[in-house]
């Protein structure tokens, strides 16, 4: 099967979830009361909004991830053809990885990897 597999599996996934949801709606027990529709919070009513500005540390790691993931994407083509190139590819990637390592060291030194 070629790339149409993506479409087939996309449709299969949608059918699975939508079908099971439909079936569940059909046979499930239904009873409604206003308390049931409250967000769960250990039995208390939620105080204040939930959608607030969240801790910035998470976004810092997201940015770091973005940088390093792009580097991984750069390395993958290199890894595939490495056997054909040998020495020159090895030295070039050594330089690349050293720069990458220095970047990680910098982030480390600046305290970007510290969780507080």
What is residue 113's DSSP assignment?
A: T
User: In Å, what is the CA distance from 69 to each residue of 62, 66, 89?
Assistant: 10, 5, 20
Q: How far is the CB of 55 from other proteins (least distance, A)?
A: 8
- Who contacts 3 (Cβ-Cβ below 8 Å, separation ≥6)? none
Q: Of these, 29, 95, 110, 111, which contacts other proteins (CB under 8 A)?
A: 29
Question: Interface with other proteins includes 53 (CB under 8 A)?
Answer: no
Question: Interface with other proteins includes 45 (CB under 8 A)?
Answer: no
Compute the distance between CA of residue 66 and CA of residue 78 in angstroms, rounded to an integer.
19
Pick out residues in 55-94 that bind other proteins (CB under 8 A): 55, 57-58, 61-62, 64-65, 68-69, 72, 75-76, 79-84, 86-87, 89-90, 93-94
Question: Interface with other proteins includes 99 (CB under 8 A)?
Answer: no
């Amino acid at each position: 099967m070629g790339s149409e597999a993506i479409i087939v599996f996309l449709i299969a996934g949608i059918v699975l979830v939508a079908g099971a949801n439909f079936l569940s709606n059909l046979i499930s027990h239904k009873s409604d009361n206003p308390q049931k529709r409250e967000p769960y919070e250990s039995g208390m009513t939620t105080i204040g909004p939930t959608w607030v500005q969240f801790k910035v540390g998470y976004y810092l790691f997201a940015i770091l991830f973005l940088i390093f993931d792009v580097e991984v994407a750069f390395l993958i083509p290199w890894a595939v053809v490495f056997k054909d190139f040998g020495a020159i590819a090895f030295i070039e990637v050594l330089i690349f990885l050293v720069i990458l390592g220095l970047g990680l060291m910098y982030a480390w030194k600046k305290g970007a990897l510290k969780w507080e």
